[in-house]
Structure 1
Amino acid sequence: MNATVEQLAPVAEQANTPWVVAALYQFREVADPADLRERLINLVQSINLCGTLIVAGEGINGTVAGDRHAIDSINQFLQNEGFDNLEYKESESHEKPFRKMKIKLKKEIVTLGVEVKPRSLVGHYCDPEEWNELISRDDVILIDTRNDYEYKAGTFQGAIDPQTETFREFPDYVRQQLANHKDKKVAMFCTGGIRCEKSTSLLLQEGFKDVYHLKGGILKYLEEMPAEKSLWKGECFVFDGRTAVTHGLQEGINEKCHACGWPTTPEERALPSYEHGVSCIHCIDKTTEQQKEGFRMRQSQIVSAKRKRL
């Protein structure tokens, strides 16, 4: 199945009220993903919703934002479709976090590239309190299953960075770097939990015996764990206009470089290498002057479009 994308009309701005941001997923067999996608398209055309939903034969995944009515409408629709055990988290954004609504049809709701059984071959789930106890132990290998730019914004104390650019690279990391540790306790985490559903299934499939993952991911941890008891360091990268969130799911201080996508701190944005929308310390030497001119033109168009909306 080739990926197909439905780009829906730009979503209207909301007046005065924050956007409700809902991150959700569930592994569940979908008999006709294309039909579900079409019915989702029909629904979202009538409500004020933006973001991305991914539909596949193995379930649904995505992050969407809208007013309260829109979020309740999409939830009710999914409940009626049998998605009655969603891993679901809400937060707020004071600015519109996505430009459009996209609904994608894919082979996987999160692309690992290796067939696993996340509904039947699962590791030990840990809630935030159990997680703190687990990762404080000396006999546990703690692995951040996210990508390198996400790790840069923040991670758990003592976590290993696999230095992957995409989740597709994770199976190679397991086989090349972890193969000799199958007798160890391995704890893994990701943003919302979905990548760990697949990574724990993968490790068990590869012969690991004692595998743990943080239920609900970093977002649930930051929502529930008081900052004074937290083992999290930094901010959690999110795939929307906020760039990153911190404890209580409050918006953080990192901002995404729109040239390369990496999070940048206020200190990095004060460097000569930083030009808003054009370059940062992570990409200044990776693009040509012609590309930078293209980025400048794009940034100028974005600024002009925002002024017209004011």
Structure 2
Amino acid sequence: MDTSVLNVSCYKFVPLPDAPALREVLHARAVAAGLKGTVLLAEEGINFFLAGPAGAVRGFVDALRADPRFADLAPKESWSAAVPFRKMRVKVKREIIRMDHPAIRPAAGRAPSVAPATLRRWLAQGRDDEGREVVTLDTRNAFEVQHGTFANAIDWGIAKFTEFPPALRAHKDELKGKTVVSFCTGGIRCEKAAILMREEGVEHVYQLEGGILKYFEETDGAHYGGCCFVFDEREALDAGLNAAAQSLPKE
């Protein structure tokens, strides 16, 4: 595995009323460090994907952590031979992940999460620690699911995340009596999805902490088939967090 370029992804739901001013600071800091990627800011928090030399990337994250609002940032790391982004963008958006459901405010209280190792154990035994059937719910878009997903995962075939709320209401009864673990690439969508499910009355709901990427990082990838789509030029990562063969350019 080539370790010349460090890639990190991270998000945090935290009130950022100063997002426009913060945008200018972070853009200047990232450009000065020679980084490429995307930082999204909104009143609800931050979401970023960055790549560059390890020292520069980790220095940027450390500088973010100096702000008490970001002190507990825990980026997911992977490595590549080249920087998989062409530019450095820092944008202010209405939401860091669009759901068009303004009542969902993760910063006000998260849904319970399950650690990757615990989910692996639950999937191996087919039930949670209280004996309930465990099902995984893929909250990603259909084209992402095509690259890979958990075995027997529920997939409602949504084309964009704003379709998740109506899909949930159409299928909610199918989740009764089960332990539902929502998952996505890095945790951001499945966190919002888990909160919405709890608000809609789904009783036993967890989000997969850190998403698929953290599952790959902390387990052997068991019970997951295929690769994980990522929104950069690597296209997809395998369970070892390497660019998947299907995403590598043909010679």
TM-score of the superposed pair, with normalisation by structure 2 = 0.89
| Equivalent residue number for residue 114 of structure 1 | 101
| Equivalent residue number for residue 241 of structure 1 | 233
Structure 1 pair 134/121, CA: closer, same or farther in 2 (3 Å)?
Answer: farther
Deviates more, 1:126-135 or 1:184-193: 126-135
| Equivalent residue number for residue 21 of structure 2 | 35
In 1, are the aligned partners of 2:3 and 2:80 still within 8 Å (CA)? no
Structure 1 pair 180/160, CA: closer, same or farther in 2 (3 Å)?
Answer: closer
The Cα RMSD (Å) is: 2.1
Listed one character per residue, the Cα deviations across residues 118-149 of structure 1 (whole Å, up to 9, x for unaligned) are 13343321112210233323723321011111
Give the Cα separation in 2 of the matches to 1:179 and 1:226: 33
Q: SS in structure 2 opposite 1:191?
A: coil
| Equivalent residue number for residue 5 of structure 1 | none
Q: Report how far residue 109 of structure 1 moved.
A: 0.9
| Equivalent residue number for residue 208 of structure 2 | 214
Q: Report how far residue 182 of structure 1 moved.
A: 4.5
Q: Identity of aligned pairs, percent?
A: 38
Give the Cα separation in 2 of the matches to 1:179 and 1:109: 29
Q: Report how far residue 196 of structure 1 moved.
A: 1.1
Q: SS in structure 1 opposite 2:155?
A: coil
| Equivalent residue number for residue 143 of structure 1 | 137
Listed one character per residue, the Cα deviations across residues 203-225 of structure 1 (whole Å, up to 9, x for unaligned) are 11112221011111110111121
| Equivalent residue number for residue 45 of structure 1 | 31
In 2, are the aligned partners of 1:50 and 1:98 still within 8 Å (CA)? yes
- Is there any run of 5+ residues in structure 2 with no aligned partner, and where? none
State how many pairs are aligned: 242
1:180-195 maps to which residues of 2 (within 5 A)?
181-195=175-189
2:175 maps to a residue whose letter is H
TM-score of the superposed pair, with normalisation by structure 1 = 0.73
- Which of 1 and 2 has higher RCO (CA within 8 Å, sep 6+)? 2
Divergent runs of 4+, >3 A: 179-184
1:241 maps to a residue whose letter is E
| Equivalent residue number for residue 125 of structure 1 | 113
| Equivalent residue number for residue 199 of structure 2 | 205
Q: SS in structure 2 opposite 1:21?
A: strand
Structure exhibiting the larger radius of gyration computed from Cα positions? 1
Listed one character per residue, the Cα deviations across residues 180-231 of structure 1 (whole Å, up to 9, x for unaligned) are 634432111111111111001111111222101111111011112125xx11
- Is there any run of 5+ residues in structure 1 with no aligned partner, and where? 1-15, 257-265, 270-275, 277-310
Q: 2:171 aligns with which of 143, 153, 177?
A: 177
